[in-house]
A and B are shown apart, each in its own frame.
Chain A
Amino acid sequence: MAELDYKIIVGLEIHVQLATRTKMFCGCELVFAGEPNSRVCPVCLGLPGALPVMNKQAVEFAILTASALNCKIAKFTKWDRKSYYYPDLPKNYQISQYDLPVGENGFIEIPLADGQSKKIRIRRVHLEEDAGKNLHSGAFSQVDLNRAGMPLMEIVTEPDMNNPQEVATLAMELQRIVRFLGVSQADMQKGHMRFEPNVNVVIKKDGGEFKTPITEIKNLNSFKALEKGTAFEAKRQLNEFLERGEVMKSGNKKTFGWDDERGVTVLQREKEEAHDYRYFPDPDLVPVTVDEKWLTDIQSGCRELPLAMQKRFITDYSLNDYDAGVLTADKDTAGFFDEAVKAGGEPKRICNFITQTGLKISGEKNCRVSQLGISPQRLAELAKLVAGGTVNATAAAAIFEKMMQDDSEPQKIAESLNLIQKSDEGELAKIVDEILAANQDAVNEVKSDGKKSKKAQGFLMGQVMQRTKGTANPQVVAKIMNERLK
């Protein structure tokens, strides 16, 4: 068979749970898990007489995200009821946004494997409330409404992706963006991001162009499932076309689920029922007017996106791709790094402080790097001490930790901790000689220039450091040692 000329077409719907303090339309705090039906109130239970009240923070998060995705932001938006009956939906309608989403007509830039990037158009960004969960056990079903009313942001792309890797890359880039913006924890394990790709294939054959029917894969919640599901579905459609000549007809699209264990898509609904959601404006909520000032305030929270920032760190600060990626995983860290560099800190050294010490401690403390008690300016001072040879890297880590509680100048802290680097050759030579004299075996090992020579040299250096409590200038010590051990 000749090589088949075909193109995969994928559009993606992504649901992102926002990291707001409370649910979308009530005061229940957003807490993961908990006893079933313990995180609820009259509003999210849909009790008679209860009324929704819009969560302003959720709207701001959606506007921020839509802005970051280069969308046109609605000046006027509203809430609509989407009606359907399902036990996990207590009001039997979902409050969503129908014809006036928060944002429309944007794009996202995703990195490709060859170092280039590709623009994927964003059709819309809107907000809605999540449903609860149906739990099935035996002949009975129970409903847990803890999740009901959680704020969801739905992002819909145009069908601009042409292979499963692009789909997964977009999802990952989006995860990075929402985390970077601080609008979602985007924790896949907790179901913070759910994907629904729409897939079909365009085939060129015998001078004609054929389109396979579009199918939707429901509720994928990992990047791997997204990539594998999309790939499987494209292949399945190709086969269906080759075997039975199945092509797109007017009518409703089929819906598939993803069986992760078997690695196959499973038909859920032959033809999506012609659902009539009877959308109409929710009379319990007032429309939202987004004025210029509010929009500016919100958008001041994002001037540069992670991918752009990552590129800038590589070109302007000569960082490698990995370091730049770690620093731009969240906006706080990236901004902190950027400021410290702008305050005169050498980029690679600042990067090491943050990635090797700062992120470790902030992770333990469950806070942001900027909340450790060290300003970017003071971190830059510390970096200068290292660069100028006043302290060495080992000492700097200790000074960093001390600086978290102590507001004094890094230089003062270094002095008080006796960590000022000793670079005086005469003084260090004396110490080196003592160490060499006391460790004749190691000295011989080095001189033998054998397999263990390097290790022995390291040992001797370690001894000097230990004796000087880490304050010896390693370059000076190495120089002296090399002379003695020639």
Chain B
Amino acid sequence: MQILKLTCKNLRDKIAAGEIKSINAVSAVFEQIEKNDAKIGAYISTFKEQSFAKAKEVDEKIAAQKPVGALAGVPIAIKDNMCSTFGATTCGSKILQNFHSPYDATAVEKLLAADAVIVGKTNLDEFAMGSSTENSGIKQTVNPLDYSRVPGGSSGGSAAAVAAEMCFAALGSDTGGSIRQPAGFCGIAGLKPTYGRVSRYGLVAYGSSLDQIGPLTKNVEDCALILNVIAGHDEKDSTSIDEKIAPVQDWLATVNTKPQNFKIAVVPELFKGADSEVVAAVKNAIEFYKKNGAEIIEISMPHFDYAIATYYLIATAEASSNLARYDGVHYGHRSKNANDYIEVYSKSRDEGFGPEVKRRIMLGTYALSSGYYDAYYLKALKARNLIRGDFTAAFAKADYIIMPTSPTTAFKIGEKTNDPLQMYLSDIYTIAVNLAGVPAISVPCGNDNNLPIGLQIIAPAFEEAKLLQIARLFEISRP
């Protein structure tokens, strides 16, 4: 039996049943990493010794029939923008390349409490700003299915690590599509939960009102399993969801329930911007749902076109403020060439940040400047409300909205690096979801020239259970 082919849940069950030792799973993962990651570049850091120690501990507990957590002994990767007391927390940036956090992010704490084995931290676009992981200040990650192509981004390292079987699941973060788009490009499942479902405490902030942690996994069932572990209100994050409003559920227990009498909304005008193979695959999926009892309705989302402009004002405005703290004074990179404290700021930041981060900081600073605030930031907030309204209206008519995850399959490395606008457009289908704060998932729905195509399913806020069920239905019975 090939351990690496197992899903997270299968491995978990087999470890718990004593059929497989965690230490063997960890060994297999590290063999895979040592064999392939030099080429793929998914990991920024790995924790071999610590992983074996943890695996041993779990194996001993199981042998002694002691209780273990929901991910006991399962090798998991986390995106390197989540703070951990082990290894550095680089955020894919030179400015934090040697930053060691004195605390663990809540999501990391929860993984550890569930007895997961955190094998490494994965590459990303610097501060999660990008759609291809090419903006990493640390290294290049390639798509494991075609080394000449990008893995997507910004959680490109996490997607590549799962797709290349260098872990059994990974955490990513999604501000404008950063979980779903790389999941789509790498042919795996990626869930962006409702905003606030998973605590942001310890997630290095990019766009605070949009950021959300979620799983990248081999299948939908694993998304449910990981969500079970990481979701929940956190008193350290005021924006995390109040349990009284939307309590955490056992999503794994309900993921295999077949949805009945459901309505799916599609937005025909949105298909115009996508490649024909992508459109064909998504239409096939819609056909599948129709055959499985779904009523398909066509709607329009009149403000969808403003999503990218809106996003690039709100996210960058928040980022310009969130990233102000990286100044060389308290921690992180400090320029050796500074002559006074102003130069400590300017030179440290100039040397530490890459071009895309600088571009977004400048854009956001401009949007918040006096005299421009009303025209840009305030207007973007209003547009955001209109976009939210589009979703509310859609969900008044349907249970789900379906569209492609991305307009294309994985593109060539370097293809879009000189054209930021073109790069931004690759998130056209995912960005509006973050502005609305609703949950969405990407699952593979076909191939074009052996490159996977992602199907994006969107549900109303807090309806992860329904979302996982319909995605799971497609996964287990698709043609």
- Could you mark each residue 404-419 of chain A with 1 if its beta carbon is under 8 Å from any beta carbon of chain B, else 0? 0000000000000000
Could you count the A-B residue pairs with CB atoms below 8 Å apart for me: how many are there?
Answer: 97
Interface size class of B (residues with CB under 8 A): 35 or more
Q: Is A283 an interface residue (CB 8 A)?
A: yes
Asked whether, in the complex, the Cβ of B89 is within 8 Å of the Cβ of A48, the reply is: yes
Given A90-B325, A92-B325, A278-B368, 16 more A-B residue pairs with CB atoms under 8 Å apart are A49-B89, A49-B202, A49-B203, A49-B205, A51-B236, A53-B238, A83-B368, A87-B341, A91-B324, A93-B324, A141-B341, A143-B330, A280-B373, A283-B208, A284-B239, A285-B238
Q: Which residues on A sit within 8 Å (CB–CB) of B329?
A: 87, 90, 143
- B-contacting 9-mer, from A39-47, A164-172, A265-273: A39-47
Q: Which residues on B sit within 8 Å (CB–CB) of A49?
A: 82-83, 89, 101, 105, 200-205
- Could you mark each residue 187-219 of chain B with 1 if its beta carbon is under 8 Å from any beta carbon of chain A, else 0? 000000000000011111101110000000000
Instruction: Using CB atoms and an 8 Å cutoff, list the residues of chain A in contact with chain B.
Output: 42, 45-54, 81, 83, 85, 87, 90-93, 141, 143, 276, 278-280, 283-286
Q: How far is the CB of B210 from chain A (nearest CB, A)?
A: 9
Q: Which residues on B sit within 8 Å (CB–CB) of A279?
A: 368
Q: Which residue of A lies closest to B202 (CB)?
A: A49
Asked whether, in the complex, the Cβ of A51 is within 8 Å of the Cβ of B200, the reply is: yes
Inter-chain CA distance A442–B272, complex, in Å, is: 118
Q: Which residues on A sit within 8 Å (CB–CB) of B235?
A: 53
Q: Which residue of A lies closest to B210 (CB)?
A: A283
Q: How far is the CB of B244 from chain A (nearest CB, A)?
A: 14
CB < 8 Å: which of A45, A52, A85 contacts B238? A52
Q: Is B91 an interface residue (CB 8 A)?
A: yes
Q: Which residues on A sit within 8 Å (CB–CB) of B341?
A: 87, 141
Q: How far is the CB of A115 from chain B (nearest CB, A)?
A: 47
Q: Which residue of A lies closest to B377 (CB)?
A: A280
Inter-chain CA distance A278–B373, complex, in Å, is: 8
Inter-chain CA distance A250–B85, complex, in Å, is: 54
17 pairs, A vs B, C-beta closer than 8 Å: A42-B101, A42-B102, A45-B330, A47-B103, A49-B202, A51-B237, A51-B238, A51-B239, A53-B238, A81-B321, A83-B321, A83-B368, A278-B368, A283-B207, A283-B239, A284-B205, A285-B238
CB < 8 Å: which of A48, A53, A91 contacts B101? A48
Q: Which residues on A sit within 8 Å (CB–CB) of B368?
A: 83, 278-280
Q: Which residues on B sit within 8 Å (CB–CB) of A93?
A: 321, 324
Asked whether, in the complex, the Cβ of A283 is within 8 Å of the Cβ of B318, the reply is: yes
Q: How far is the CB of A53 from chain B (nearest CB, A)?
A: 5
Q: Is B306 an interface residue (CB 8 A)?
A: no
Inter-chain CA distance A50–B82, complex, in Å, is: 11
Asked whether, in the complex, the Cβ of B238 is within 8 Å of the Cβ of A278, the reply is: no
Inter-chain CA distance A273–B174, complex, in Å, is: 39
Q: Which residue of A lies closest to B203 (CB)?
A: A49
Q: Which residues on A sit within 8 Å (CB–CB) of B318?
A: 283
Inter-chain CA distance A283–B207, complex, in Å, is: 9
Q: Which residues on A sit within 8 Å (CB–CB) of B345?
A: 85
Asked whether, in the complex, the Cβ of B238 is within 8 Å of the Cβ of A54, the reply is: yes
Residue from A45, A47, A141, A286 with most neighbouring chain B CB atoms (10 Å) = A47
Inter-chain CA distance A278–B327, complex, in Å, is: 18
Q: Is B154 an interface residue (CB 8 A)?
A: no
Q: Which residues on B sit within 8 Å (CB–CB) of A48?
A: 83, 89, 91, 96, 99, 101, 204-205, 325-326
Q: How far is the CB of A46 from chain B (nearest CB, A)?
A: 5
Q: How far is the CB of A135 from chain B (nearest CB, A)?
A: 13
Q: A49-B201, A280-B377, A286-B238 are in contact. Are A85 and B321 (CB under 8 A)?
A: no
Inter-chain CA distance A81–B319, complex, in Å, is: 12
Asked whether, in the complex, the Cβ of B324 is within 8 Å of the Cβ of A83, the reply is: yes
Q: Is B477 an interface residue (CB 8 A)?
A: no
Q: How far is the CB of B115 from chain A (nearest CB, A)?
A: 23
Asked whether, in the complex, the Cβ of A284 is within 8 Å of the Cβ of B208, the reply is: yes
Residue from B103, B321, B326 with most neighbouring chain A CB atoms (10 Å) = B321
Q: Which residue of A lies closest to B378 (CB)?
A: A280
Inter-chain CA distance A143–B208, complex, in Å, is: 27
| Contacts of B236-251 to chain A: CB distance below 8 A | 236-239
Query: What are the nearest 4 A-B pairs in CB distance?
Result: A92-B324, A283-B208, A283-B209, A278-B368
Q: Which residues on A sit within 8 Å (CB–CB) of B200?
A: 49, 51
Q: Is B422 an interface residue (CB 8 A)?
A: no
Q: A51-B200, A81-B321, A278-B368 are in contact. Are A92 and B239 (CB under 8 A)?
A: no
Q: Is B392 an interface residue (CB 8 A)?
A: no
